Amino acid sequence: MELNGHTVSHTGTLAEGETVSLAANDSWIAEGQNTVNVSVGDGTLAAGSPAPQVALDYRHDVSKSRTIDYTGEAFSERYAVSESWNEDTENASLTIPWASDRVVSLRSVTVEHRDADGTVVQTIDEPTYAFENGSVVVELGDVQAGWETTVSAAGSKVKVENADLTVLKPTAQGNDLNSTVRLNNPGEDVYVRVGATEQGQQLHYLSNASWDTEEASRISSDGTNEIRIPNAPDNGEAQLRTLPLAFDVNSGAVDVDVPDERVNTAEPVYRIGPGDRTSDQYSVTHVDAADGKPYVLFDESDDIVLDQGLAESPLTLSATEPEEPHVIQFRQDDGTATGSGDSGTIGSVAGGAGPMVTNSRPFSALSGLLPGPGVVVVGLAGLVGLAVLSRETSLFDEGTRSDAAADAAKDVGGRAGGLVERLLENEIVVAVLMLGAGAWLLSSGVFGPTERLIVALGSVPVAMYLALRQFGTFDFRVWVGSTAVVAVLGVVVLAPDVFETVARQAGVIIVAGVILLGWRALSAWRAEASTPDTVNQFEVETTDEGNNGGN
């Protein structure tokens, strides 16, 4: 008899009704299909001998049978495995092969033994287990024939530090993450590593939290995606979700989060800052980008386009992490985004290159130094309102009302003018007032970066001029030099990109300068050409001889 290539035999003749047992090894039996071949005789037959015939009754005993219940989730894989034993077994074990290779730890595991009547005879809450080649091997102890053993195990795809994570509402495997979780016994800083999950490289964030969250994700070049949750309360609950943005960092790490109230899945917004260092290159993929649509990676903080491309879902664009947090949007290109950055490779993106969105006007980058349209609108509205008021009230017409208004204004102006005149006689007071007003405007949040730059560069030189005049030490060269220093420092602090902008526009500036110098030279030449080479001067002397005229 041959069993899966292993042979046992008996030599001799069997009498009618005689049986012989052939001993096989248990290890010859394979899981699944087994092949058995039986042969008799040596292959030669004597004359007149009947053909050999064999009747085979094959059987083998099964020491255990198994049933498995499996549930796959975004963060977990859950098993309930039951084994039935037909013989006593010492030091039994059970191997659970995870359905995926993303399980990084066991969240929980229990062992329960029941006898043939279904009565629980033993429960092991913390059995010994070990990870082996993507599976977990659980030690069951000694079991008896007739027992049924149930092993319940939850494998976790996330690793949590400084807290116990309980998933209250899991997300089914294959769906976008939207799980309700609870943090138990959290430390000062909680870290949830999600890099091993199906959406491990996407940006994770908390929503509908029971506390004011300040979470941020650190995404590293080695694939680590670590959500950092500081100051989480005990038993704090929140929904853990993802944006359709996947990050790939070339080296180092970046810190990314979602600005408050800026959750947008169609044109997602994120805030990025340096991790352990600055200037790391990274790429961001919009996994749900609409096919055939042009997109730009728009830096709202600097008002420039970092990269662009035509989506053939998904779409990957590239950029360089900034030195301080910047708000960036992966938006469809509607033609309103202006400017371009040098942090990404324009045009060399997945899905092909679309038209670069730029502003074709000369000095486009320097136009950001002008006040915003809101300031102009408010000023025009004030002028129009003043004109309407004067017309309706005849404030400046001749008549009783204008005379009364003029008298009242003269009286108030006289009183106020005396006080103001005394104050304005002291340049120190004026300088302090101007500096105070400038400081208030800069810190009030009313103005944007451009307006703050204009206020700062305008108020400081005037205040310095008044102060120098008050102390009698005014010197034009000192004032000009100090004003230049203040201007440079103000630009560096409030608008560091201005010098880069000027450098990028250097060609246009040089051309404009050459044109200006040429025009001045041409004007000087024309003036000189219209002047005669020789000028004759005549002097005429006259005398007065009374009313009769004179010569």
- Is the pLDDT confidence value at 36 over 80? yes
89-103, 284-298, 412-426, 474-488: lowest mean pLDDT where? 412-426
pLDDT digits over 198-223, tens only? 888 899 999 999 998 888 999 998 88
Q: Quick one: pLDDT band at residue 121, thresholds 50, 70, 90?
A: very high
Count of H helices and E strands in the chain?
7, 26
Sign of CA dihedral 301, 303, 306, 312: positive
Asked if residue 276 has pLDDT above 90, the reply is: no
Give, in words, the CATH class of 64-156. Answer: mainly beta
Contact 134, 101 (CB under 8 A): yes
pLDDT number for residue 451 = 58
Cis omega (within 30 of 0) for bond into 186: no
Instruction: Find the helix or strand (DSSP H, E) in which 470 lies.
Output: helix 449-470
Distance CA 312, CA 306 (A): 19
| Cα distance between residue 64 and residue 327, in whole Å | 60
Residue bearing the bigger pLDDT, 155 or 482 = 155
Q: Which residue bears the tokens 């002097």?
A: 539
Q: How confident is the model at residue 41 (pLDDT cuts 50, 70, 90)?
A: confident
The average pLDDT across 63-89 equals: 85
pLDDT greater than 50 at residue 265? yes
- Residue 129, pLDDT above cutoff 60: yes
- Nearest-angstrom CA–CA distance, 387 and 371: 24
- Does the pLDDT of residue 508 top 80, yes or no? no
Least confident range of 105-109, 189-193, 468-472 = 468-472
Rounded CA gap, 29 and 367, in Å?
A: 83
Report the C-alpha dihedral over residues 346, 347, 349, 354, rounded to 10 degrees.
120
Domain assignments of the chain as residue spans, ordered by start:
1-60, 64-156, 250-360
Query: Is 4 buried (19+), middle (13-18) or exposed (0-12) by CB count in 10 A?
Result: middle
Does residue 491 surpass a pLDDT of 80?
A: no
pTM (predicted TM-score): 0.49
322-367 pLDDT, tens digit each:
888 999 999 998 766 555 444 333 333 333 333 333 333 333 333 4
Q: What pLDDT score was predicted for residue 343?
A: 39
Provide the pLDDT for residue 368: 41
Average pLDDT over residues 489-517: 61
Question: What average pLDDT does range 401-414 have in this prediction?
Answer: 53
**R_g of the chain, CA atoms, integer Å:** 44
User: Chain-wide mean pLDDT for the chain?
Assistant: 75
- Read off φ and ψ for residue 22, nearest 5 degrees: -110, 125
Q: How far apart are CA 307 and CA 285, in angstroms?
A: 12
